[in-house]
């Protein structure tokens, strides 16, 4: 089974680098360029792991988490990891309270470490076809 | 008998001033009480009025007491009860001249100063105008209306009025001082609040600016990593070297942002200390084990002295940073086959830990720059020779030790003669440790952790 990743990241270049790296490692990557789009895709469910940026246009990462916890998708997702540059910020604690499983500081990791994070943390849930069409 | 009564009256009036809690009402309270108290001392007046002004003789305060009026503060500052301030102070008169000369003026010309419609006008036979002098200047006038003739006002009454006026002058000065002091205090509070707010803004700015800096740095780092890891076989050795150097420099830039965040937090008192009692020797042993692979890579013998030392009070995470920084520094500047040893000694309230190496050493002129930001002294652009780090590591290390009430030192006999870095921490239970426990920043919503610091060994 191919690991499915949702990457919600507004910075085009960072998104491109991560998408390419993750795809290169054999994962199936869906991207979203802002919180709103990210929420819509996450609500369809079926991702083994979701990487969520915090500061984004339209809807920030905290709101995405809040909406997802208020109305969990019918098809379950794997863990949501914050992928942010806001280290040691109260926002990270808030995100954990809202259901995030962890946080990665983008500037502290290289793409290789992102691949490791997927291997270590992605859930092994069976994915339904709906998300595959996303 | 009368002398005793007078003394008692004055003591009571003084006490009234001393007991008054509202600094703005000192004069009002004194004059209000005087109206009744002076009559006990045998000095009966139909009213007591007071007018006070600033250096330009502009009226700043008035008060008026008689049998029916508790206090009459004029709205226009032109009248004090029935007294015309204009005639008293503004228009030139014999009386005004005397007052300016710090002399008591007594007059029978009642209608010159008092409104004829005043209910007690007919009873007033004489007016005593007593100047309140403060700092050699006319600061006010006390106006007493007597139902006795001019001739009946004798020296003893005037003497008493002089004492009373002096008390008013003291009270006036006290009130001015107290008010200006409370204004200053309020200003200081306001400024302090503003500084606090500015500090918060600065912190927010540093925080947001670092976030904004980190985003493009993440992209640079990621693409360089991708080039170096995925396209390495397609690269000429030169291109690979260029990209390697770009990658290292990006890492350095990221460390710089982290260090600047750390400094902003340490200097703003926003790094909380989780104090515990630790065995510094065992702690150093763990760190040596952690760094053993790095030391082995450079064929450096990293050893620590197993000795018994009292426990120290510190935040283990922060002291871990201190060790990593100092040992990392030694690893960086010690050539292959060198030695690094860690020793301990007790000095009064403190345990001192020294990290010795037989590496490159430090020149005398650089020694005093080591712990400064960017290795520079104020007003100088000369940096510490050769530093490939952020230039902030030792400053942060020093700050971390100092928030533990410890000290750092660096010694070196000179170039190629090795160096010794040492730091001290308070022994658990000592006076210094108690002071540390009291003063250490506690965890609050505003405190944060240290950013990851990276050492280029």
Average pLDDT by stretches of 10, chain B with 457 residues? 74 90 87 85 87 85 83 68 85 89 91 89 93 91 92 87 92 91 94 90 84 91 93 88 91 86 84 90 91 89 90 92 90 89 92 91 81 69 61 89 93 86 93 89 75 65
pLDDT at site A134:
45
Reported ipTM: 0.85
**A-B Cβ pairs (cutoff 8 Å, strict):** 60
**A41 interfacial to chain B (CB closer than 8 Å):** no
pLDDT at site B126:
93
The answer to whether the beta carbons of residues B203 and B267 sit under 8 Å apart is: no
B223 with A112: Cβ contact below 8 A = no
**A105 interfacial to chain B (CB closer than 8 Å):** yes
**B77 interfacial to chain A (CB closer than 8 Å):** no
pLDDT at site B421:
93
B218 with A89: Cβ contact below 8 A = no
A18 with B210: Cβ contact below 8 A = no
The answer to whether the beta carbons of residues B122 and B30 sit under 8 Å apart is: no
Q: Is 0.90 surpassed by the pTM of this model?
A: no
Give the closest of B215, B225, B261 to A11, CB-based: B215
- Report strand pairing: A80-84 vs A102-105: parallel
Closest-CA distance of chain B to residue A98, Å: 18
B452 with A21: Cβ contact below 8 A = no
Q: How far apart are CA B57 and CA B293, in angstroms?
A: 84
B222 with A90: Cβ contact below 8 A = no
pLDDT at site B376:
63
**B272 interfacial to chain A (CB closer than 8 Å):** no
Q: How far apart are CA B433 and CA B183, in angstroms?
A: 39
B230 with A90: Cβ contact below 8 A = no
A21-48 confidence digits (pLDDT tens): 999 999 999 999 999 999 999 999 889 9
pLDDT at site B1:
46
B211 with A55: Cβ contact below 8 A = yes
Residues within 8 A of A (CB atoms), B 284-323 only: none
Closest-CA distance of chain A to residue B390, Å: 16
Closest-CA distance of chain B to residue A106, Å: 6
B449 with A14: Cβ contact below 8 A = no
- Report strand pairing: B312-314 vs B301-304: unpaired
The stretches in chain A having pLDDT less than 70 are: 125-134
Closest-CA distance of chain A to residue B271, Å: 11
């Amino acid at each position: 089974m191919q690991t499915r990743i949702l990457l919600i990241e507004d910075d085009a270049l960072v998104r491109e680098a991560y998408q390419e790296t993750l795809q290169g490692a054999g994962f199936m990557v869906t991207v979203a360029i802002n919180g709103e789009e990210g929420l819509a895709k996450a609500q369809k469910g079926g991702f083994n792991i979701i990487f969520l940026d915090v500061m984004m246009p339209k809807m920030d990462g905290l709101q995405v988490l809040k909406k997802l916890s208020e109305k969990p998708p019918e098809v379950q997702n794997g863990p949501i990891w914050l992928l942010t540059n806001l280290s040691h910020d109260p926002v990270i604690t808030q995100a954990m309270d809202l259901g995030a499983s962890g946080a990665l500081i983008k500037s502290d990791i290289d793409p290789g470490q992102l691949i490791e994070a997927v291997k270590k943390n992605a859930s092994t849930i069976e994915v339904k076809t709906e998300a595959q069409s996303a | 008998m009368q002398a005793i009564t007078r003394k008692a009256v004055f003591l009571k009036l003084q006490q009234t001033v001393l007991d008054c809690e509202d600094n703005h009402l000192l004069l009002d309270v004194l004059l209000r009480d005087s109206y009744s108290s002076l009559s006990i001392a045998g000095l009966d007046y139909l009213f007591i009025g007071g007018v006070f002004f600033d250096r330009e003789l502009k009226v700043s305060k008035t008060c008026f007491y008689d049998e029916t009026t508790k206090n009459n503060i004029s709205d226009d500052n032109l009248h004090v009860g029935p007294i015309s301030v204009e005639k008293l102070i503004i228009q030139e008169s014999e009386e005004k001249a005397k007052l300016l000369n710090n002399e008591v003026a007594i007059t029978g010309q009642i209608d010159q100063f008092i409104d004829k419609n005043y209910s007690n006008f007919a009873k007033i036979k004489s007016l005593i105008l007593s100047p309140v002098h403060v700092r050699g200047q006319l600061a006010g006038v006390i106006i007493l209306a007597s139902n006795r003739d001019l001739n009946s006002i004798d020296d003893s009454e005037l003497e008493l009025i002089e004492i009373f006026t002096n008390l008013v002058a003291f009270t006036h000065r006290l009130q001015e001082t107290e008010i200006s002091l409370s204004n200053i205090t309020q200003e200081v509070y306001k400024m302090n609040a503003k500084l606090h707010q500015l500090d918060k803004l600065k912190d927010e700015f540093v925080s947001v600016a670092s976030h904004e800096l980190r985003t493009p740095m993440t992209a640079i780092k990621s693409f360089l990593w991708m080039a170096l890891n995925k396209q390495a076989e397609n690269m000429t050795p030169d291109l690979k070297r260029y990209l390697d150097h770009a990658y290292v420099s990006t890492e350095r830039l990221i460390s710089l942002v982290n260090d600047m965040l750390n400094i902003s937090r340490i200097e703003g008192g926003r790094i909380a200390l989780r104090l515990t009692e630790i065995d510094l020797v065992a702690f150093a042993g763990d760190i040596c084990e952690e760094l053993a692979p790095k030391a082995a890579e450079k064929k450096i013998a990293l050893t620590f002295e197993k000795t018994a030392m009292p426990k120290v009070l510190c935040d283990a995470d922060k002291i871990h940073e201190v060790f990593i920084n100092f040992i990392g520094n030694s690893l960086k500047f010690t050539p292959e086959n060198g030695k690094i040893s860690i020793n301990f000694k007790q000095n009064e309230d403190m345990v001192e830990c020294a990290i010795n190496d037989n590496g490159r050493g430090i020149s005398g002129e650089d020694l005093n720059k080591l712990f400064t930001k960017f290795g520079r002294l104020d007003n100088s652009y000369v940096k510490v020779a050769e530093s490939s780090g952020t230039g902030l590591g030792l400053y942060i290390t020093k700050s971390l030790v100092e928030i533990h009430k410890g000290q750092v030192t660096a010694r070196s006999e000179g170039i190629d003669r090795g160096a010794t870095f040492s730091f001290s921490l308070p022994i658990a239970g000592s006076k210094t440790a108690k002071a540390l426990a009291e003063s250490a920043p506690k965890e609050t919503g505003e405190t944060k952790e240290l950013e990851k610091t990276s050492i280029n060994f």
